[in-house]
Structure formats: C-alpha cells, structure tokens
Copies of this chain bind each other. A is one copy, B any other.
Amino acid sequence: MARVRLIDVAELAGVSMKTVSNVVHDYPHVAPALRQKVQSAIDELGYRPNLTARRLATGRTGMIALAMPEMDHPYFSELSRYIAEEATRRGYRVLIEQTLSDPVAERAVIGDREAGLVDGVIFHPVQMGTLDIAKLAPGTPLVLLGEAAMPVMTDHVMIDNVAAALEGTQHLLDSGRRRIAFLAVTDGDITGSTTQRLLGYQQALIEAGLPVSPDLVLTARKFSAEAGGDAITEALAAGLEFDGVVCRDDKFAIGALKALQAAGKSVPGDVAVVGWDDTFVGRYTSPTLTSVAPDKMAIASEALSLLEDRIDGYQGVGRHRIVGHSLAVRGSTPAS
C-alpha cells in the first residue's frame, strides 16, 4: 500500500540509490551478485518506479498527444489505432485530445497554458488555419495531419488529394460515365481538403474533354451521412441528371447510397458512387463502397517519424510528407 521508493529498496539491499537505479534501468555494469540482491529487494517490496518523478528529472514524458475532431468518426478511429500502435512501438503512450471541431478546443491543443504534459503533439486541425497554428504553436514538437494548406511552417503529413480525386473521377470516366457530380460540404472545412479534391475532380473532367459544370457540384450542409443524402435527394428533385458522383467523404457516400436507392436509382447501374477514406463502414453497405484509400498506416508512421525528429531536437523548417493512396474498388462502381 504505502508506496515504495527507490531509497527504500536501496536501504533494504544495503546499496546506494544509484545502484538500484542502475538495476532498474538494466545498466550493463553492475556486479551480478549486487544485481541479484537489489532485484530481490525490489521484488520483496514490490517497488515500481514513479514515472512522474522520473519525468521531472529527465524532462521527458514519454507521451504524445493525439488531437483530432472526433474519436468515433470511422476515419479518425482507424487512423488513431495505427498511430497508437506505432507510438507503442516507439515507446510512447498516447494522450487523446478530442477537439470536436471546436475552435477553442483546437487552440487549447497547441496554445496550451500548461507545459511538460507531453513530448509532442500530432494534430488534425479542422477549424484552425495554418497561420493561427504557426502563431500559437509553442516550442512543443508538432506534426499536422490532414489537408491544411500546404505552405505551413510546421511538419505535415497528407496524401495527394488532387491526384487521388483525379483517380477516383478517372475510374468513373473509364467505365463510361460522363455526367459526374461531386459531393462537397459547405462549411466547416477551412483546411481546404474539399477544394483540393474538387480540383482533382475538375482536372479529370478537363483531361477527358468534358465540361466542368458548377451544377454538378453538390454541397452537403454538414458533415453527416444524412446531410450527404439530402444533397443528393434535392439534386434529384431539382431534375439534375448524373451517372456518377465522387464524394468528399465516406459518410456522404453512404448517405448518397441510401438517397439514390430511395429515389429508385440503382447503384452502380444508374449512378456510380465513389467515397473517400476507405472506412470500415464502406465494406458493409450494399452495394459495398468504392473509396479513395489513404495509406493510413503510412500516415501514422510518417507522422511519428517527423514528430520523433522534433522531439529529438530537430529545428529545421516545416517538412511535408505526401504518403500513398489507392482506390479501393468495390460494388458501388462498375468494373471499368
């Protein structure tokens, strides 16, 4: 019960604190006999080093913070898992910071009024612009995730959104679709992901010699499957014709799937659907969902590499890592 300290072990073993510490840390140069004696003292007392004290002495916490909008959003929960695994592999523990896309919470993540909590932060911003971030960022090592505008001073990991959107659209074009819509979002996307994806979509149309019609860009009112579905339903009601739709997000795509079916359209027969993030859910809708698949594992490991550099003292300018992506082709698009 009463907590045992290093010095207690030292006394029982009849050695100094340093020696006990050496044993605890598996230092090479300790006489076997001593090590033995110390170890049994440790066992007998049930000694467990106090991490807080160690941290104060070393200045390292062995923890990183992972700040993201929602931990139960499929994309973020999947990404978190990989980040957690990678962090564990590298000897860090993960502190979760859920921002719920709240600007105040986002500022708190990096402009934190307290120090010494974590060694570094991996942050997926939604509301904060890169300028804000650069301005507020304290000395804490920081790596940004997601599509925050490129010219940032901070380290940053993302996929090539333009290329990915182009490929997704291309896939639809390959199967003969000609009137392809894009399902975007109105608000809450300051970071420009939608813009970049839209760009890739338009580029694909242009390369195919097709017109880029603003009518075909639908916008959902919020980040939810329902809102995505509503946008589709309204477009259909307004008489818009399209035979394919590239969605900014799997959630939208799922809503779209439902809305299309409700409207009597077959997927992919009448309308083919491409989602984004290759989320777990997309494998269980019907039809299953074709989706742009960011290499989540690569995002996790790149992010941790960059962060670890910073933690180890790297002070250079912001680095940008583009990691791979692919298109997970499933039932919502015809085999091209």
On A, residues with C-beta under 8 Å from B are 1, 3, 48-53, 55-56, 61, 63, 66, 70-72, 74, 77-78, 80-81, 84-85, 88, 93-98, 112-117, 138-139, 225, 254, 257-258, 261, 280-281, 283-286
A73 nearest CB across to chain B (Å): 8
For A257, the chain B residues whose CB sits under 8 A away are 284
Closest residue to A66 on the B side, CB-wise?
B96
For A55, the chain B residues whose CB sits under 8 A away are 52
For A72, the chain B residues whose CB sits under 8 A away are 74, 77-78, 80-81, 280
A286 nearest CB across to chain B (Å): 5
Closest residue to A70 on the B side, CB-wise?
B81
A121 nearest CB across to chain B (Å): 13
Known contacts: A94-B95, A286-B285. The answer to whether A114 contacts B51 by CB under 8 A is yes
In contact, B52 and A112 (Cβ under 8 angstroms): no
A104 nearest CB across to chain B (Å): 12
* Closest 10 pairs between A and B when the two form their complex, measured CB to CB: A77-B77, A50-B116, A72-B81, A48-B115, A52-B116, A72-B77, A52-B55, A72-B78, A254-B284, A51-B117
For A56, the chain B residues whose CB sits under 8 A away are 50, 52-53, 56
Q: Looking at chain A's contact residues, is the secondary structure mostly helix, strand, loop, or mixed? A: mixed
In contact, B95 and A95 (Cβ under 8 angstroms): yes
For A98, the chain B residues whose CB sits under 8 A away are 81, 84-85, 88
In contact, A115 and B49 (Cβ under 8 angstroms): yes
A-B contacts, 13 listed (Cβ < 8 Å)? A50-B56, A50-B114, A51-B114, A52-B56, A56-B56, A74-B77, A77-B77, A84-B96, A88-B98, A93-B96, A94-B95, A225-B284, A258-B284
In contact, B84 and A71 (Cβ under 8 angstroms): yes
